[in-house]
Amino acid sequence: MEAAVSPFPDDVEALKALLACALHKADEAEAQLANARARESATEAVIAHLKLQIAKLKREQYGASAERTRRLLEQMELQLEDLEGDAAEDDLLAEAATTKIATVTAFERKRPARKPFPEHLPRTRVVVPAPCSCPACGGSRLSKLGEDVTETLEVIPRAWKVIQTVREKFSCRDCEAITQPPAPFHVVPRGWAGPSFLAMLLFEKFGQHQPLNRQAERYAREGVPLSTSTLADQVGAAAFALMPLYRRLETHVLAAERLHGDDTTVPVLAKGKTDTGRLWVYARDDRPFAGPAPPAALFHYSRDRRGEHPRAHLASWFGILQADAYGGYGELYAASRKPGPVLEAGCFAHARRKFFELANVEGAARKKSRGERTGLIYPIALEAVQRLDKLFDIERGINGLPAEERLVCRKERSAPLMSELHAWLTEQLRKLSRNHDLAKAINYMLRRWDAFTRFLGDGRICITNNAAERALRGIALGRKSWLFCGSDRGGQRAAVMYSLIGTAKLNDVDPQAWLADVLARIADHPASRLDELLPWNWRGCRPTVPVAAQ
């Protein structure tokens, strides 16, 4: 039997050389693999970015299909965040791997373009000391040619401080009377919280949906222990101090000739259970027809959804109400109503949604690929969506124009489409069973045809109720954080704060900065000039950075 011949040399130096060569090849392979991974991650991030851009452009061009499209865009943005993070991490790993191997060039990823930092941010100039002599020849005759400036964004951690207000006492040596300046105003009687702290507390709770117990935990970690009950006491007192502004806001909203109305659920803590309350919103937004009145949102709270609540909210108002087909609005539309009838304007977004759910081709395909049960796709529903989309296309072109110009365009272009739509819906209804889902979607429009065609005679009317739905969006997000209102009084207090903060956002005013200034001034501000503190008037004398649309 022959002995096996080893493929490795017996010489130690030769083995060392062979090992070095193998290690070099391993490093080279590792660098190439890291480059490939970085290239793949970068490509996936670019693809996700382009898909997101395409989806946004499609939504702008063809119109939003309601909340579903918005949720899909949010999911795509979250996915893009992770992919961009993966690409950055893989890029650094590839750079670290290629530094060992001169024969492999590191992959260079095209990084996202960064906008310049805002000009209003303060700049701190840090000058790196220059050499006193030339590093090349050692000469000391140096002449400055210029400088390169690298900007780095930094944040200063929140700083707490205690302001001591000293009121000196004096006595008169002639009459022995004692005098002292009056105590400064506090939102809470004998309070300890400053206006900026109160504004932060309110905005975090009602604007950022952070419950007081979470805020208390964060304050304790920063070295300022405050109990939840103490913070709640400040919230209640601050809401009471802001009630005059809420009443002025209510007057402004109810002075409109056209309102958007909607409601959403809000859990309310009860004995041994959680009840379902309601938050109602009435939004005034004249921007679609170039109206001069500033936008505003008015919230109300109720323990249930009985029709008596909107009747009480709008008891002194009459005009055009854009809302869904909620039966509780029925008595508002009565011709004999005092002080006047409310005219109903239908929401095409609600009508389109009913057809879209029956014509969701993409959703059915996704369910089928996952092996899930899919519903039927109805050609009638698909055609209804396409017909309604033509109306949305016209509205996008006239959005922001004066009411007179919008009316002329609607009579020329939208009125014929509505006549054709009515005839087509009537014809399709004859072919369907009364209990068919499509028949229900068609009847939703035909039974309210006067409400859906009212926009053809009034250029101020919008064809959707999206203004109210946007105002309620923050509450839908907040429910996941604060879970429930602790009581009916808590729901009413939330309605007040949602009204003030939501109106500030609608007017591109920083809610926290506005609240801080208002809380500092409202005590000695003349009641006859209270309107000066409303967000749209405050904006004129307090320059702010516009907030992003939400």
Of the candidates 189, 188, 197, the one whose C-alpha atom is nearest the C-alpha of residue 162 is 197
**How high is the pLDDT of residue 545?**
38
Percent of the chain with pLDDT over 90: 34
pLDDT digits (tens, 9 = 90+) for 147-169: 888 887 777 878 888 888 888 89
The answer to whether 482 touches 267, Cβ cutoff 8 Å, is no
Three-state SS letters, 502-531: HHHHHCCCCHHHHHHHHHHHHHHCCHHHHH
| CA dist., res. 179 & res. 253, Å (int) | 47
Structure-block tokens of residue 428: 């399709």
User: CA 516: distance to chain centroid?
Assistant: 22
pLDDT digits (tens, 9 = 90+) for 130-150: 888 888 888 888 888 888 888
Which range scores top for mean pLDDT: 203-212, 279-288, 366-375?
A: 279-288
**How would you classify residue 318: left for phi > 0, otherwise alpha for psi between -120 and 50, otherwise beta?**
beta
**How high is the pLDDT of residue 111?**
60
Neighbours of 425 (CB within 10 A): 18
* CB within 8 Å of 83: residues ≥ 6 apart: 41, 44, 45, 48
Residue 419 scores a pLDDT above 90: yes
- The b/e string for 58-82 (b: 16+ C-beta within 10 A; e otherwise) is eeeeebbbbeebeeeeeebeeebee
Q: Coil, strand or helix: which one is 171? A: strand
Axis crossing angle, helix 511-521 with helix 488-506, rounded to the nearest 10: 110
Residue 376 scores a pLDDT above 90: no
**How would you classify residue 2: left for phi > 0, otherwise alpha for psi between -120 and 50, otherwise beta?**
beta
**How high is the pLDDT of residue 311?**
92
**How high is the pLDDT of residue 115?**
73
In the DSSP assignment, the letter for residue 465 is -
In the DSSP assignment, the letter for residue 66 is S
**How high is the pLDDT of residue 435?**
87
Task: Give the mean pLDDT of 328-355.
Answer: 89
Higher per-residue confidence, 365 vs 99: 99
pLDDT band for position 242 (50/70/90)? very high
Neighbours of 187 (CB within 10 A): 20
| CA dist., res. 491 & res. 270, Å (int) | 13
In the DSSP assignment, the letter for residue 119 is T
**DSSP annotation string for 315-355:** TT--SEEE----GGGGGGG-TT-SS-PPEEE--HHHHHHHH
**Where do we find the tokens 């809380």?**
519
| CA dist., res. 516 & res. 194, Å (int) | 9
**How high is the pLDDT of residue 145?**
83
Higher per-residue confidence, 534 vs 63: 534
Cα–Cα distances in angstroms (integers) from residue 8 to residues 11, 15, 26, 83, 246, in the given order: 9, 7, 18, 45, 88
Axis crossing angle, helix 348-358 with helix 379-398, rounded to the nearest 10: 150
| CA dist., res. 367 & res. 526, Å (int) | 62
**DSSP annotation string for 235-278:** HHHHHHHTHHHHHHHHHHHHT-SEEEEEEEEEEEEETTEEEEEE
Instruction: Give the amino acid at 196.
Output: S
Rg (CA), the chain: 33
pLDDT digits (tens, 9 = 90+) for 56-87: 776 666 555 445 566 666 666 666 666 666 66
- DSSP3 helix / strand / coil % (the chain, rounded to 5): 55, 10, 40
Is the N-terminal amide bond of 339 cis, ω within 30° of 0? Answer: yes
Structure-block tokens of residue 60: 């702008």
Structure-block tokens of residue 261: 């109305």
pLDDT band for position 546 (50/70/90)? very low
**Where do we find the tokens 């502004």?**
245
User: Cβ-count burial of 371 within 10 angstroms (0-12 exposed, 13-18 middle, 19+ buried)?
Assistant: exposed
**How high is the pLDDT of residue 540?**
44
* CB within 8 Å of 155: residues ≥ 6 apart: none
pLDDT digits (tens, 9 = 90+) for 296-333: 999 999 988 898 999 999 999 999 999 988 888 888 89
pTM value? 0.76
Percent of the chain with pLDDT over 70: 81
| CA dist., res. 287 & res. 402, Å (int) | 9
| CA dist., res. 28 & res. 381, Å (int) | 59
Neighbours of 420 (CB within 10 A): 12
| CA dist., res. 83 & res. 77, Å (int) | 10
pLDDT band for position 547 (50/70/90)? very low
Instruction: Give the amino acid at 215.
Output: Q
**How high is the pLDDT of residue 410?**
95
Residue 512 scores a pLDDT above 60: yes
Q: What is the mean pLDDT of the chain?
A: 82
Lowest mean pLDDT among 54-68, 83-97, 99-113, 160-174: 54-68
| CA dist., res. 274 & res. 518, Å (int) | 35
Task: Give the mean pLDDT of 484-511.
Answer: 87
pLDDT band for position 362 (50/70/90)? low
pLDDT band for position 464 (50/70/90)? very high
pLDDT digits (tens, 9 = 90+) for 196-226: 999 999 999 999 888 888 898 999 998 889 8
Q: How many residues does the chain have?
A: 550
| CA dist., res. 534 & res. 248, Å (int) | 8
Structure-block tokens of residue 376: 């039927």
**How high is the pLDDT of residue 548?**
34
Q: For 179, phi and psi rounded to 5 degrees?
A: -120, 150
Lowest mean pLDDT among 41-45, 455-459, 461-465: 41-45
